[in-house]
């Protein structure tokens, strides 16, 4: 099992989380994820996830013109996105707690 | 900036091609913003897109997984075929939209759709002509015939038109093999129509050069008789045109045995001397009632031989007519006997 496989399950949650406080454009979001420690996340994965969350109605977009480069499409959480973040966050914490406990009981090193 | 617009466009195109097996709507939705996104990526750091993001195909696979679209392990022939079909459809759609305005419609297909009922009638006619060809064994004109019967052919045509229109109005709802059968039979009819047109074109094209004229004045000529200046029939005559080519007229239908050459048309004229229109002159061995051709030049210089020696002997020596005493007035023979009386 490597990080890539784990990411598949939680990338939605991670993207929603890094957009919670601040809107961002594609590359910006990728950089936030990597700074947060998800080094192996790929550009296409982030882009694809953004497209899917947008299609699911969890994100809204707006374009910000730029004087020194391409226009940037910013993504922001809408109400549905915030709900989803709350629910998915709780689910993950519960899941992670369960997994931690499971490993702790069997003495697997952290 | 090291990444050009063109590089981005090419990268996007390759990603889209790798996703060609997806439904068009899904793929469009996935790659809608890709060019803008790649422009952002390119603006953030140096190096080519392939250096920074990997091959477009790998990018597409990751995108496919992240977006939750159905994945393909290997691209099978089916997928490549689907991609090719998709590309062709896209090109046709572009062409469709481009050809529309000159015709006065939004798209060319909108215009063509108006012509569909005409095609329904036309294909019924073609089907009737196909039946005609099969039932009459190849020869056909412009009207359908069923086994040579025009009325039956027209009834067949009317029936086929009704069926064709009925089918046409329902073909939208056809799926699976009925749809394929309909398309296949349409292709057959189109091929048949093209073959028929080529056939008709050939026949029409040859007609003006046909050497057999309809009103040939020599059609009725069966034999040729040549007479010399004396009105005598010339036998074994041969005719040539200005180029030295033999002129062949008529046919030797009176000759029993074939010529040694094998070709009866190589025989000299006349084929049948017995049928000469003018009688032979001198030897009247067979009493012909045919008129005689007078010689050229002075027709009256030579006396007609048939009149001369034959009409000279009147049959007057019959002895039965002699004892007639009617002419006795001129015969004073008995009365002249008493001549001695005058001697006294």
Residue B266 has pLDDT above 80, yes or no: no
Instruction: State the pLDDT confidence band at A79, using cuts at 50, 70 and 90.
Output: very high
Minimal CA separation from B82 to chain A, in Å: 23
Residue B246 has pLDDT above 60, yes or no: yes
Of B190, B187, B189, B193, which Cα lies nearest the Cα of B142?
Answer: B193
Residue B264 has pLDDT above 80, yes or no: no
A69 Cβ under 8 Å from any chain B Cβ = yes
**If DSSP codes are grouped into helix, strand and coil, which group holds residue A16?**
helix
Give per-residue pLDDT as tens, A7-39.
Answer: 777 899 999 999 999 999 888 899 999 999 988
Per the model's pLDDT, the better-predicted residue between A110 and B3 turns out to be: A110
Residues in chain B closer than 8 A to A74 (CB atoms): none
SS3 per-residue string spanning B13-48: HHHHHHCCCCCHHHHHHHHCCHHHHHHHHHHHCCCC
Give per-residue pLDDT as tens, B73-131.
Answer: 445 666 677 778 888 888 888 888 888 888 888 888 888 888 888 998 999 988 888 88
CB burial of B120-141 (b: ≥16 within 10 Å; e: otherwise) equals bebbbbbbbbbbbbebbeeebe
Instruction: State the pLDDT confidence band at B311, using cuts at 50, 70 and 90.
Output: very low
Mutate to test the interface with A, among B44, B66, B68, B71 (most CBs of A within 10 A): B66
Cross-chain residue pair B30–A48, CB shorter than 8 Å: yes
Residue B334 has pLDDT above 50, yes or no: no
Residue B224, CA distances (Å) to B112, B214, B312 in order: 66, 21, 40
Residue B142 has pLDDT above 50, yes or no: yes
Give per-residue pLDDT as tens, B147-161.
Answer: 777 788 888 889 999
Residue identified by tokens 């994820």 is A33
CB B258 within 8 A of CB B264: yes
Instruction: State the pLDDT confidence band at B336, using cuts at 50, 70 and 90.
Output: very low
Q: Chain B residue closest to A51 (CA)?
A: B30
Cross-chain residue pair B30–A51, CB shorter than 8 Å: yes
Peptide bond into B265 cis (omega under 30): no
Instruction: State the pLDDT confidence band at B205, using cuts at 50, 70 and 90.
Output: low
Domain extent listing, chain A: 3-103
Residues in chain B closer than 8 A to A26 (CB atoms): 33, 37, 40-41
**CB within 8 Å of A44: residues ≥ 6 apart:** B53, B58, B59, B60, B61, B62, B63, B66
pLDDT, mean over chain B: 74
- List residues in chain B touching A: CB distance below 8 A: 1, 29-30, 32-34, 36-37, 39-44, 52-53, 58-68
pLDDT at B265: 61
Of A33, A25, A29, which Cα lies nearest the Cα of A69?
Answer: A25
| Complex-level ipTM | 0.81
The stretch A31-57 carries a mean pLDDT of 89
pLDDT at B322: 45
Minimal CA separation from A40 to chain B, in Å: 12
Which residues on adjacent β-strands are paired with residue A25? A74
Name the least confident of A74-83, B9-18, B47-56.
Answer: B47-56
Of B117, B115, B111, which Cα lies nearest the Cα of B169?
Answer: B117
| Joined tokens for residue B132 | 């005609």
Which secondary-structure segment (H or E) carries B266? none
CATH code for A3-103?
1.10.10.10
Ranges A16-20, B4-8, B290-294, most confident: A16-20
CB burial of B48-68 (b: ≥16 within 10 Å; e: otherwise) equals ebeeebeebeebbbbbbbbbb
| Joined tokens for residue B304 | 């007609």
Instruction: State the pLDDT confidence band at B318, using cuts at 50, 70 and 90.
Output: very low
CA angle, corner B336, sides to B330 and B337, nearest 5? 140
Residue B215 has pLDDT above 90, yes or no: no
Cross-chain residue pair A70–B40, CB shorter than 8 Å: yes
State percent of chain B over pLDDT 90. Answer: 5
Residue B171 has pLDDT above 60, yes or no: yes
Percentages helix, strand, coil for chain A (3-state, rounded to 5) are 60, 15, 25
Residue A69 has pLDDT above 90, yes or no: no
pLDDT at B145: 77
Q: Longest C-alpha distance within chain A, in Å?
A: 57
């Amino acid at each position: 099992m490597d990080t890539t496989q784990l990411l598949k399950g939680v990338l939605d949650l991670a993207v929603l989380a890094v957009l919670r406080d601040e809107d961002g454009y594609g590359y910006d979001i990728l950089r936030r994820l990597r700074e947060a420690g998800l080094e192996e996340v790929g550009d296409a994965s982030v882009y694809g996830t953004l497209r899917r969350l947008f299609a699911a109605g969890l994100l809204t977009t707006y374009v910000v013109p730029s004087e020194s480069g391409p226009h940037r499409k910013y993504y922001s959480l809408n109400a549905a996105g915030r709900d989803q973040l709350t629910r998915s966050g709780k689910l993950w914490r519960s899941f992670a707690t369960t997994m931690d406990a499971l490993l702790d009981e069997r003495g697997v090193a952290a | 900036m090291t990444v050009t617009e063109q590089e981005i466009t090419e990268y996007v195109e390759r990603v889209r091609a790798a996703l060609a097996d997806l439904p068009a709507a899904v793929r469009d939705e996935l790659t809608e913003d890709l060019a803008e996104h790649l422009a952002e990526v390119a603006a953030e750091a140096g190096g080519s897109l392939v250096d920074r993001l990997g091959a477009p195909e790998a990018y597409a696979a990751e995108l496919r997984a992240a977006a939750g679209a159905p994945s393909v392990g290997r691209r099978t022939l089916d997928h490549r075929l689907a991609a090719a079909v998709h590309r062709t459809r896209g090109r046709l759609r572009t062409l469709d939209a481009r050809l529309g305005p000159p015709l006065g419609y939004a798209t060319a297909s909108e215009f063509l759709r108006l012509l569909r009922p005409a095609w329904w009638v036309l294909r019924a006619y073609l089907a009737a002509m196909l039946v005609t060809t099969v039932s009459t064994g190849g020869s056909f004109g412009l009207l359908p015939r069923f086994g040579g019967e025009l009325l039956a052919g027209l009834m067949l045509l009317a029936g086929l038109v009704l069926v064709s229109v009925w089918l046409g109005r329902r073909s939208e709802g056809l799926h699976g093999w009925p749809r394929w059968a309909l398309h296949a039979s349409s292709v057959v009819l189109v091929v048949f129509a093209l073959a028929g047109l080529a056939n008709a074109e050939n026949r029409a094209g040859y007609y003006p050069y046909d050497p057999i004229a309809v009103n040939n004045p020599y059609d009725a000529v069966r034999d040729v008789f040549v007479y010399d200046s004396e009105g005598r029939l010339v036998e074994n005559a041969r005719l040539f045109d200005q180029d030295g080519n033999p002129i062949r007229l008529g046919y030797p239908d009176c000759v029993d045995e074939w010529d040694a050459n094998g070709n009866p048309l190589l025989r000299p004229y006349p084929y049948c001397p017995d049928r000469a229109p003018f009688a032979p002159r001198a030897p009247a061995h067979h009493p012909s009632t045919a008129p005689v051709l007078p010689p050229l030049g002075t027709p009256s210089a030579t006396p007609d031989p048939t009149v001369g020696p034959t009409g000279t002997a009147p049959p007057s020596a019959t002895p039965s007519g002699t004892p007639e005493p009617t002419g006795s007035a001129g015969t004073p023979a008995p009365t002249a006997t008493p001549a001695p009386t005058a001697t006294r």
